[in-house]
Structure 1
Amino acid sequence: MQQKMKTKRAAAKRFKVTGTGKLMRNKAYKRHILTKKSTKRKRNLRHAGLVDATNVKAMKSILPYA
C-alpha cells in the first residue's frame, strides 16, 4: 500500500499556487527598518513575486500536492 506524502506545513502557509501551476511568494525586507527605504521600494515590496525557476524543483518536493 502506497503512503501519502506529507506536506511541509510551514511551506504551505507561505506559498500559493497560481492557476498555471507557478508558485507565488511574498517578498522579504518589508518588516522593519523601513525609514531608510524609499516609498517606491516599499510599494514594490507589497506585491507577491514568483518563486525562481532554480528553486521550483525543491519546492515541489516539500509541497507535493501543490
Structure 2
Amino acid sequence: MPKMKTNSGAKKRFKLTASGKVKVAQAGKQHGMIKRSNKFIRQARGTMVMAEPDARVIRKHFLPNG
C-alpha cells in the first residue's frame, strides 16, 4: 500500500501542537483592512486553536502524518 501524502495546501496553513490540537491563523486578515475596525485588526493577530470538530477533519484527511 502506498504512503499517505500530506495535503500541500494544508501543511502551509495548519500546524499541530504537541497535544495534537490544530493551530491556524485568524481569518479575515488577507485584504480589505481599510473597511475593518481597528479593534477587529488588533484582535485577529496571531494564531488560534481550531474548533475540535473541524480539527478532526483536518487531522484525518489533510495531515495524516501529523
- TM value normalised by structure 2: 0.82
Q: List structure 1 runs of 4+ shifted beyond 3 angstroms.
A: none
Structure 2's unaligned 5+ residue stretches are none
Percent sequence identity is 34
Structure 1's unaligned 5+ residue stretches are none
Larger radius of gyration: 1
Q: CA RMSD in A?
A: 1.3
Matched residue count? 65
Q: For residues 32 and 6 of structure 2, what CA distance do their matches in structure 1 show?
A: 33
1:28 equivalenced with 2:63 (yes/no): no
Q: For residues 41 and 12 of structure 1, what CA distance do their matches in structure 2 show?
A: 26
More strand by share: 2
- TM value normalised by structure 1: 0.82
Q: For residues 14 and 42 of structure 1, what CA distance do their matches in structure 2 show?
A: 19
